[in-house]
A and B are shown apart, each in its own frame.
Chain A
Amino acid sequence: MLPELTSILYQFGTNAAFLLLSALGLIVILGMMNIINLAHGEFMMLGAYAASFVVHRGMPFPLAVIMAFFATALFGIVLERLVIRRFYGRELGALVTTWGISLILAQGALLLFGPYMPPIPIPGGAVSVGVFSFSVYWLILIGISVVLVAGLALVYRATRFGLQARATMQNPIIARSLGIRTGQIYMLTFGLGAGLAGLSGALLAPTTSIAPYMGQQFVAPAFITVVVGGGANVIAGAVGSSAFLSLIETPVSLTLGTFYGTMALLVMALMVIRVLPAGISSLGARLRPIVAR
């Protein structure tokens, strides 16, 4: 019984970690800045490419992941200054623009590096409980995704940058009139979102093949996680939605196979958005007055 339970927990954890890592950068860029960033997957691809590039030149993998964060963040900052900042408040304009950027990045990667990058071997071995064996790396990823989300929440709750960023997202005009340099905040926020996407891309790189169009597998899960989570509290929402969606996906995958698991996830996402258009985190806002009473 214990091995089966461990196996189910492990599947649940990996599914939730995959959703959370896919969504990490988008939590910031879509959730906080309200930019429909269709280049999110390509930012993840860039992180994976950067990691693969330096790992095969001798850099240890953990350092390569950190390097991927900074490289993609820097790329995001340059992109924000040159292009993205012209589209604030114009959601559809930003959507088309980021779609164009995603095409350029994927095609550019193909032209520059060919159809495949050398893969990164999956670090760590396996542990077994009973007849089941579990990948150590995925166990680490589950832990890292928790740490990353907690760290992101801490940055927004407890730092000077977080305070200015929250104020800017709520009301940029009032923020400016109080001396908050919103232009810088937008730039740093976009850079942070891009960097986190690159970091996730590097972390997930060993689990997949590193190719120009690899980003596409992350885009749908990322958007579903953030949208189902909702905007009332983006970070808590994404944690809630990744946990909830994996709770549905995992048993269906285990009994009927991953194809039906994914289908269950999609159907459940549709139902949540139908019932709670503002996402899971709007439940908190609805409950608060009742609790306070």
Chain B
Amino acid sequence: MILEVNDLRSGYATGDVLQGVSLALEGPGIVGVIGRNGMGKTTLMRTIIGLLPARHGTIRLRGEDVTRLRAEDRARSGVGYVPQGRGMFAGMSVLDNLRTGLFINDGRREAQFDLVYGYFPFLRQRAKQLAGTLSGGQQEMLALARALIGGPDLLLLDEPSDGVQPSIIDEIGDFLTNLVYAQGVAVLIVEQNVDLIRRVVDRAHVLEKGRIVATLAGETIRDGELLAEHLAI
């Protein structure tokens, strides 16, 4: 069991956004969380990585309870997090941005520069360029590479399709499926983009008003209309 979230509640000063969410990632694979804006997707991600405190419930990584651990220590225990909007260090070079990912997993694994350059060759060519000058899609790939370079067991992706052009979204989708088979990483992805969800996830939880109201798997995922229904306003 890589990630186990049990009856999680958290939110902001105005109240609980998550109203008791439970989900689990048993091993390598891609699990999606879908839902419309304001249903608590980003709150879920921020609570799992530890940027928001859990008010109730538990979060376990590989069986270990990390609910009270700080974000930096959760990352060091092997979680790569790609925030919504990508979280670039815009004034730092592409290479320096990559290097900031080396503390994930606490340096237990060798830095996987060759792996990420293999997936995204432009990162090597643009190593010295400032990250803020990359296009949206390139920034997304840099954020993915940065989260991956320390060799995490778990990747948390918050809307990787946001602000990225469709051809690049396909590329990111291929990268994710490839990554799971080649590296055995577990991925939890929050998305609104129907195409990306259909392309990559093994199953998808539908988040509505802070609760998981449905879980789609197999054929129901490939059925784009059903997915779109869950995302419709």
Contact = CB atoms under 8 A, between A and B. Distances in A.
Q: Say whether A and B bind each other.
A: yes
Given A166-B89, A170-B91, A170-B92, A178 B100 contact: yes
A180 B103 contact: yes
Interface string B109-146: 00000000000000000000000000000000000001
Contacts of B146: 178
B35 interface: no
Given A178-B146, A179-B106, A166 B92 contact: yes
Contacts of A174: 83, 87, 89
B204 interface: no
B89 A179 contact: no
A178 B96 contact: no
Given A163-B96, A166-B89, A179 B72 contact: yes
Contact of A176 (B70, B91, B147): B70
A179 B71 CA distance: 7
Nearest to B132: A170
B89 A170 contact: yes
Interface of A: 163-164, 166-167, 170-171, 173-182
11 contacts: A163-B99, A166-B92, A167-B100, A170-B89, A171-B89, A176-B71, A177-B71, A177-B87, A178-B100, A179-B150, A180-B72
Contacts of B226: none
A170 B90 contact: yes
Contacts of A163: 96, 99-100
A176 to B, nearest CB: 5
B96 A176 contact: no
A177 B92 contact: no
B83 A179 contact: no
A154 to B, nearest CB: 15
A167 B72 CA distance: 13
Interface SS of chain A: helix
A282 to B, nearest CB: 12
Contacts of B75: 176-179
Q: 8 nearest interchain CB pairs? A: A179-B75, A179-B103, A174-B87, A179-B76, A176-B71, A170-B89, A177-B81, A167-B100
Contacts of B147: 178
Best-surrounded residue of B81, B89, B90, B96 (most CB of chain A within 10 A): B89
Contacts of B73: 179
B101 interface: yes
Contact of B83 (A164, A167, A177): A177
A167 B89 contact: yes
Given A171-B87, A173-B51, A178 B92 contact: no
Contacts of B150: 179
Contacts of B101: 178
Best-surrounded residue of B75, B76, B99, B104 (most CB of chain A within 10 A): B75
Contacts of B72: 176-182
B92 A179 contact: no
Interface in B75-95: 75-76, 81, 83, 87, 89-92
B33 interface: no
Nearest to A174: B87
Contacts of A182: 72
A178 B89 CA distance: 12
B89 A176 contact: no
Contacts of A178: 72, 75, 81, 100-101, 103-104, 146-147
Contacts of B61: none
Contacts of B70: 176
B104 A166 contact: no
B87 A179 contact: no
Given A166-B92, A167-B92, A170-B91, A177 B49 contact: yes
Nearest to A285: B91
Contacts of A173: 51, 87
Given A177-B87, A179-B104, 8 more contacts: A164-B100, A166-B92, A174-B83, A174-B87, A175-B100, A177-B51, A179-B150, A180-B100
Contacts of A177: 49-51, 71-72, 75, 81, 83, 87
Contacts of B76: 179
Nearest to B100: A167
A180 B100 CA distance: 8
B73 to A, nearest CB: 8
Contacts of A180: 72, 100, 103
Nearest to B104: A179
A229 to B, nearest CB: 16
A279 to B, nearest CB: 15
A284 to B, nearest CB: 12
B183 to A, nearest CB: 19
Contacts of A181: 72
